[in-house]
Amino acid sequence: MRARLFALLCLLTPAPVLAATCGAGLNPVVVTATSTAFSFYAPGAAVPTHANGTVTVACFIALASTLPAFTIALSAGTTGGFTPRQLSFGTNRLGYNLYTTASYATIWGDGSNTTVTQSYSASLGLALTSFTAFGSVPAHQYVLPGFYMDSITVTATY
């Protein structure tokens, strides 16, 4: 019998960022993130389990606004490490990571420990941009069945 796991990564959805503004300086910047839900994880599968999440940065009022330049960093998660990050179910851990591309080669983090951040350069008239977080749970991790979670803090620096 093959055990199946349900793994979910919750990216925090921050409140509007008021440290930077769009356009003429009156409209606040808003940063949001969607969850990266890995769905069912089968430990005996021959390939990793993949799922994507999205981090979006937008001008609160898009009319005649332009986003400022910024950098987006992701925290290591609740277990405190990037290699790998870990989903938790009680004391049980399931390794995973978030990457900047679908090649799953570069870990999206805070710029430390071989991780990188995502950057945006101001572009006249653009009031919204998104970044994809490419999630991967390596195959052959035999852990107890359960609902595995982690929380990632998204930080926008202007």
Q: Alpha-carbon torsion 108, 134, 56, 125, what sign? A: positive
Q: pLDDT higher for 84 or 6?
A: 84
What the chain holds in terms of domains, given with CATH numbers, is: 5-157 (2.60.40.1090)
92, β-bridge pairs = 89
Which two tokens mark 12?
């925090």
Q: What is the pLDDT of residue 24?
A: 61
pLDDT tens-digit readout, 76-111: 999 899 999 999 999 999 999 999 999 999 999 999
Residue-wise pLDDT for 13-63, tens only, equals 343 334 466 766 666 788 999 999 998 999 889 999 999 999 999 887 766
CB 82 within 8 A of CB 113: yes
More confident residue, 143 or 63: 143
What pLDDT sits at residue 58?
A: 87
